[in-house]
Amino acid sequence: MSRSVRDLAYKAIQYKEKYNKEKGREPTVEEIAKELGVNKEEIAFSFDAIQDPVSLYEPIYNDGAESIYIMDQVRDTKNTDEHWAEKMTIDQSMKRLNDKEKTIITKRFFDGKTQMEVADEIGISQAQVSRLEKSAIKNIRRMYR
């Protein structure tokens, strides 16, 4: 982290302490920024820059028998067992499609394109895209029944 960012954070902390003693409350980020002549995003960034990193294996609670770690409190919705299984199924399904079907399914369902957009990109009619898409989906369903 650059020295100037850390210096700004320490100046902001000094101002916070001074302000708190004088007015009996914490200053807002906007008040600190105005006093130091910077924008509020710089103040927030500087405070983040001086925070010590914390391990995910840091215990946050211990009842004597079992500890709860930060990692236990962080939710990962992307890497769930269900997501892995779905991804494996999709990968296996895509391998069994021909190149044109793979392209259409990828553009339609992963890139979010319309049938018309796909048709224009690969040089076939929208009706052909529709027919090939339905055929690919039918083949995928058949593989997993």
Q: Does a structural domain hold residue 78? A: no
Q: Is 92 a residue whose pLDDT tops 60?
A: yes
How close are the terminal C-alpha atoms of the chain, in Å? 55
Helices (H) then strands (E): counts for the chain: 8, 2
- Tell me, yes or no, whether 69 and 30 share the same domain: yes
CA distance 55 to 135: 49
**Does any domain span residue 111?**
yes
* Closest among 99, 107, 95, 100 to 124, alpha carbons compared: 100
**At 118, is the pLDDT very low, low, confident or very high (cuts 50, 70, 90)?**
very high
The pTM of the whole model exceeds 0.85: no
| Run of H or E including 109 | none
pLDDT at 107: 94
Amino acid at 5: V
Count of structural domains, the chain: 2
Same domain, 69 and 7: yes
Q: What is the mean pLDDT of residues 70-82?
A: 71
CB 67 within 8 A of CB 57: no
Segments forming the whole domain that contains residue 56: 3-73
In this prediction, residue 79 has a pLDDT band, given cuts at 50, 70 and 90, of low
Contact 61, 13 (CB under 8 A): no
List, for residues 15-62, the tens digit of each pLDDT value: 999 999 999 999 999 999 999 999 999 998 998 888 888 888 888 888
**pLDDT tens digits along 94-112:** 998 999 999 999 999 889 9
